[in-house]
Amino acid sequence: MDTFLAALFSGTSRGAIYALVALGLVIVWRGAGVVNFAQMGQAMFSTYIASTLIMHQYSYWIAFFVALFAGALMGALLDILVMRPLSNKKKSELLSSESMRAAVPVIASLGILGALQSLAGIIWAAEERGFPAPAKQEGFKIAGNVMPFTSFDVFVIATVLFTLFLTTIFFQKTGMGLAMRATALNQEVAKLSGIRTNHTRTLSWAISGAASSLAGLLVTPTSNLSPNTLDLVLIVGFTAAVVGGLDSPIGAVIGGFIVGLVISFVTFYDTPEDVFLSILALLVLVLIVKPRGIFSGKDARRV
């Protein structure tokens, strides 16, 4: 029973972070038609910025918000400097073929990932460093028993839920959110009805950048910070997004929790070595049974 509770709690807390990563992927996929494999590279970079600020005696919260802002800025810059010029090249020989149109932005995002990781290595050295948590990482004590649930876990889940709430409000209740949903639905029609699709695209990159930086800030206290640490988080987040449906923000969030729980139960009841194999099995299973993901809409892209 104790193992079960521990697996459940740790899975929920981890799942919240994967939900955030998956949400970041879904926002850029819907807004710009790109799966951004550089996402956790951006998160790693802004977490390093936060870590450097903390080492220079700034408070955790200043570092926290600077990192979120840096993540958003980086996302916007990547869109303006790399992805927008790329999509203007639709007539080039390489992008003229059906299959490569989807592949080339992926390759560009991998290049960005490599560049960010090498740059972080040059600036901050490759050695791992820790990253502080804003709340205690010791289990709650109930009647003398240490529970497998910490104040930091509560902080993680609360922050993620609050972020999801804000994102939902933004997309459903604001004019800008409406414009972004329209662009995701049909770019040409959105353009014709006066929406500046270039702006909404850049904005979705910025929002996704901030969300993934948040995920980086929340995941590093329990692991360590190095240029490559967040690669695995990206893979897991991608699986979560595909499980829930790349088109569906709600699906991404639920997918995040599903994947978090799967990983946690495999770790507790089996061995950590099987985690990747179980992720792969889950991914392949979903892609074979329901390729559009569990929660994707009817008009999803054919795969």
Partner 1 sequence: MSNSHSSSALKKSLIRTIIFVLLILLVQSRFDAYNQAQLALVLILFIGTLSVTLLTGISGQLSLGQGALMAVGGYSSALMMINLKLSLWVAVPVSIFVSAIAGLLLGITAARLSGPYLAGTTLVIALAIPSLANRFISVLKGDEGLPVDVGYPPTWLSNLLGEITYEQWQLYLALPFAALALFVASNILLARTGRSWRAIRDHESAAALAGVNYSRSKVFAFVISASFAGLAGALYGLRGLVGPSVYPVSLSLTLLTAAILGGIRSIAGAFIGTVIVVFLPDWIELAIGGFEVSEQVSNFLPGLLSSLLLILTVVINPAGVMGAHRHKNK
Per the DSSP assignment, residues forming a β-bridge with 139 are 150
Select the residue interacting with partner 1 from 55, 103, 161, 178 (CB under 8 A): 103
Decide whether 50 or 279 has the Cβ nearer to partner 1: 279
CA angle 136, 137, 140 (to 5 degrees): 85
Among 4, 55, 65, 89, binds partner 1 (CB under 8 A): 89
CB-based contact 275:264 (threshold 8 Å): no
> Of 80, 106, 154, 250, which one interacts with partner 1 (CB under 8 A)?
106
Can you give the length of the chain in residues? 303
* Site for partner 1 contains 97 (CB under 8 A): yes
Q: How many amino acids of this chain bind partner 1 (CB under 8 A)?
A: 57
Q: How far is the CB of 290 from partner 1 (least distance, A)?
A: 12
Stretch 109-128: interaction string toward partner 1, x if CB under 8 A = -xxxxxx-xxx-xx--xx--
294 binds partner 1 (CB under 8 A): no
Tell which one of 242, 252, 253, 261 touches partner 1 (CB under 8 A).
242
Nearer to partner 1, 203 or 242 (CB): 242
CA distance 178 to 16: 26
Closest to partner 1 by CB, 211 or 242:
242
Give whole-number Cα distances, 143 to 138, 140, 151, 153, in Å.
15, 10, 17, 20
The distance of closest approach from Cβ of residue 63 to partner 1 in the complex, given in angstroms and rounded to an integer, is 23
Residues in 31-50 at the binding interface with partner 1, rule: CB under 8 A:
34-35, 37
Binding site for partner 1 (CB under 8 A): 29, 34-35, 37, 82, 85-86, 89, 92-104, 106-108, 110-115, 117-119, 121-122, 125-126, 231-232, 235, 238-239, 242, 246, 273-277, 279-280, 283-284, 287-288, 291, 303
